Structures are given as structure tokens and as C-alpha cells.
């Protein structure tokens, strides 16, 4: 099982949208399990009505959601932790420092992955396919169109595709050209007009569409 944990502040808008929109991109029986939590969230059932409205407009399912706070246990148990902004990635690392190489922002992870996933050394060299084709076909900042990342999924066994990609992206973090920190964040729509929330959701939808392909989305046990 590949657990992908999205983190925002209140677990009300951004991380909820990422969790449920990623779920719409995965095939039945996928080994990828989207989850979410918030750095300042508290346990409460039900989804915010404005979040649910934009989620359902984009084809997601808002039923059965419960907000929850971010914990060290959640971070430690995740295959991949994706903050919606840098502060969320940093909060996850503070809770579970050993998980640092598995913690990114959502846009950072996609940016590094589609820029070309390199070799990962794990006893022997393993290579996932060159994802530069995806980078040529997608602008993550706009996130309005998503390229075909099937080359990545096809290049490795479904069972370990996610671990290989996560390790490869972690290896690129120190070598890829830097970008201004704000470019890897998705702005908080809290208290903003409904169109701002909707555009936030569209940006997240584009990013998680690519993420689903990068992680393989294969069937689980």
C-alpha cells in the first residue's frame, strides 16, 4: 500500500481537495491510498460545504470525510508526504525528522519528477523512465492541462513504482535548479471568494493528475 499524505493548515480546503481529487484519478483497487491532515486541524466529521461544492464540480466525492490533526505517526507511516505549502512540509519534518526524504510540497514533487527522474541506487541501479515528456507537455503552475506520464509507470513494476519514484525525486532535490519558494506553494483560499477556491481546486487537480501517473496507480492487495 502506498500512502500519500497531503497536509495543509486546517484540513478544510487544500489538503482535502488533494486527497479526494487524487482518489478520482486512481483505478479501482489501486495500491495508492490518498489521505490528509492539517497542522492546526482538530477532529471533526463532515466536509466544509464550499470545499465539497468545488470538489464535486471537479468530479470528486465529498462523502465520509473527517478532518484530523497532523501527527508524527501519520508522517512516519506515509510513503509520501506532500504539503500544500512549504510550512506544511516543514511541520511534517519537525514531527518526524527521519521522514525528511519523503516530505515535499505537492508542486515541488511534481516539478522535480516531471523534470526528469534519474537513477536510484539501492544495491543495484534502478531507473524509472525519463519523465521529460511530461515536463514538455505540462505547466504545473497553471495546472490546466496534464501530459502523459505513462512512460514513468510503465518503466517499473507496479508494486515498487512509488518507492522508486519518491527516492529518485528526493535525489534530485539538491541538484535541480532552484525556484522561488512561493512557486512551490498553493495559496490558502481560506476566507477568500468562491472563485479563488475554485481556481485553487483546479490547480490542485492538475498537479494530482500528474502525481497519479507518476506513482503508477496500480492495484493493491
Where does residue 73 rank: exposed (0-12), middle (13-18), buried (19+ CB within 10 A)?
exposed
Are 51 and 16 within 8 A, CB to CB?
yes
- Concerning whether 14 is annotated as a catalytic residue, the answer is yes
- Concerning whether 101 is annotated as a catalytic residue, the answer is no
Task: Give how far the C-alpha of residue 185 lies from the chain's centroid of Cα atoms, to the nearest Å.
Answer: 12
Burial pattern 179-192, b for ≥16 Cβ within 10 A else e, equals: eeeeebbbebbeee
Which entry of 101, 122, 154, 192 is annotated as an active-site residue?
A: 122
Q: What is the dihedral of CA 132, 137, 143, 148, to 10 degrees?
A: -80
Question: Quick one: which of 78, 79, 160 has its CA closest to 122?
Answer: 160
- Concerning whether 8 is annotated as a catalytic residue, the answer is yes
Question: Quick one: which of 74, 76, 18 has its CA closest to 43?
Answer: 74
Instruction: Give catalytic residue positions.
Output: 8, 14, 122
Amino acid at each position: 500500500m502506498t500512502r500519500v499524505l497531503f497536509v495543509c493548515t486546517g484540513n478544510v480546503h487544500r489538503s482535502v481537495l488533494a486527497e479526494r481529487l487524487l482518489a478520482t484519478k486512481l483505478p479501482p483497487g489501486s495500491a495508492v491510498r490518498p489521505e490528509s491532515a492539517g497542522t492546526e486541524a482538530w477532529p471533526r466529521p463532515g466536509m466544509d460545504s464550499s470545499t465539497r461544492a468545488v470538489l464535486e464540480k471537479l468530479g470528486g466525492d465529498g462523502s465520509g470525510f473527517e478532518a484530523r490533526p497532523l501527527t508524527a505517526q501519520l508522517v512516519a507511516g506515509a510513503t509520501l508526504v506532500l504539503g500544500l505549502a512549504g510550512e506544511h512540509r516543514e511541520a511534517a519534518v519537525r514531527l518526524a525528522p527521519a521522514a525528511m526524504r519523503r516530505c515535499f510540497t505537492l508542486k515541488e514533487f511534481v516539478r522535480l519528477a516531471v523534470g526528469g527522474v534519474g537513477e536510484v541506487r539501492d544495491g543495484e541501479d534502478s531507473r524509472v523512465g525519463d519523465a521529460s515528456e511530461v515536463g514538455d507537455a505540462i505547466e504545473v503552475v497553471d495546472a490546466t492541462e496534464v501530459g502523459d506520464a505513462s512512460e514513468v509507470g510503465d518503466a517499473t513494476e507496479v508494486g515498487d513504482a512509488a518507492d522508486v519514484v519518491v527516492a529518485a525525486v528526493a535525489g534530485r532535490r539538491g541538484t535541480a535548479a532552484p525556484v522561488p519558494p512561493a512557486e512551490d506553494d498553493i495559496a490558502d483560499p481560506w476566507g477568500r471568494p468562491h472563485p479563488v477556491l475554485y481556481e485553487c481546486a483546479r490547480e490542485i487537480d492538475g498537479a494530482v493528475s500528474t502525481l497519479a501517473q507518476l506513482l503508477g496507480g496500480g492495484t493493491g492487495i
